Structure formats: structure tokens, C-alpha cells
Amino acid sequence: MEVNPIIPAARSQGQAQTWLQYHDLMFRLARDILGDDTLAEDAVSEAAVRLLERYDCLEEPTGPRTRRFVAVLTEHAAIDLLRKRKRERTVPLEAAAELRAPAGDPEGRMDLMAALDRLPLQQRTAVQLSLVCGMSAREVAQTLGCSVSKAEKLISRAKNTLRSELKEVEP
């Protein structure tokens, strides 16, 4: 990867020196956290802006304290980017296959559909992905952008709620 030798926003030779000294470290840290070169570049850019905003607080441009400070700024920028991407990620229900209720009487199917509609969105999506699309809890977690244990809990709670609601409907 080609590194621009001077930060365009650098106001002094010291800022440019700091950038040159720590750019590779920043990129490696961000790539380790994000797992993607493009996202790592975005995080490094954000960290560089934060570094320039606080540059006057640094004791020396390339000392050990500055190195730790740069590492922390980069890690925080990468984590912030991960959180932002997680918030923006949504799963459209259209991505899940149409719910296919088991063959049987039409009233039972209507009761099932009504019970599904009453579930909270995350539970409904998780149980549909699991039962209709045949996804594992790990795949559901990746799709929803949550942990595997949360996906398992969502699926379990949805199934329990459906069981209890459908038992109430049956005579």
C-alpha cells in the first residue's frame, strides 16, 4: 500500500513526522480490528483527524507516550467504525423466505401468522431465519449482527412465546 508522505491537513513538520512514524502501526491495528483494508483506511483517517485535533497536547512527536496515544486513538476509531456499521446493518424481512405454515386447517395458519406478527421484530426475524430459511444460530447471529448467544435467546424466546400463544388458541 502506498502511503502519502504528508498529511494534507498537517500544519507543521512535527505533525507530518508523527504521521510518517505511526501510519503503518495505525493501519495494522485498524486492520486487525476491522479485518478489511478499506475499512482500516477509513479508521486510520479518522484517527489521524483526532490526532491532529489533539496534537498540541503531545509532549513529543514520536515518543513512547505518543505511540500509546496513537494506538489508543486508532483502536477507538476502529471500534467506533464497527459500532456504526453494526447500527446501520439491517435485515429486511423480504430477505427471509415467505413463512410457510404447516399444512393443516386455514384457521391454524392464520393463528400462527397472527402470533408471529405479535412477536418483537428481532425475535420474529430470528425465528423466521432459523425455521423457514434453515439457518443455524451462528448464521442468524451474523445476519442480525449480534452474538450467537443473543441469537439463540431470540430464537428460544420466540418459540416459547409462539408455543404458549398457540396453546391458548387451541380448544
Show the domains of the chain with their CATH numbers: 13-88 (1.10.1740), 93-169 (1.10.10.10)
Give Cα separations from 81 to 51, 86, 87 (angstroms): 16, 9, 10
Give the separation between CA 76 and CA 161, rounded to whole angstroms: 39
The pLDDT of residue 153 is 94
pLDDT in tens, 35-61: 888 889 999 989 888 888 888 777 777
User: If DSSP states are collapsed to H, E and C, what string results for 76-138?
Assistant: HHHHHHHHHHHHHCCCCHHHCCCCCCCCCCHHHHHHHHHHHHHCCHHHHHHHHHHHCCCCCHH
pLDDT in tens, 101-136: 445 556 667 777 788 888 898 898 898 888 877 888
Give the separation between CA 22 and CA 84, rounded to whole angstroms: 25
Give Cα separations from 47 to 14, 36, 50, 81, 114 (angstroms): 17, 16, 5, 11, 49
Q: Name the CA dihedral angle for 36, 38, 44, 45, rounded to a multiple of 10 degrees.
A: -160
pLDDT in tens, 80-95: 888 887 766 544 444 4
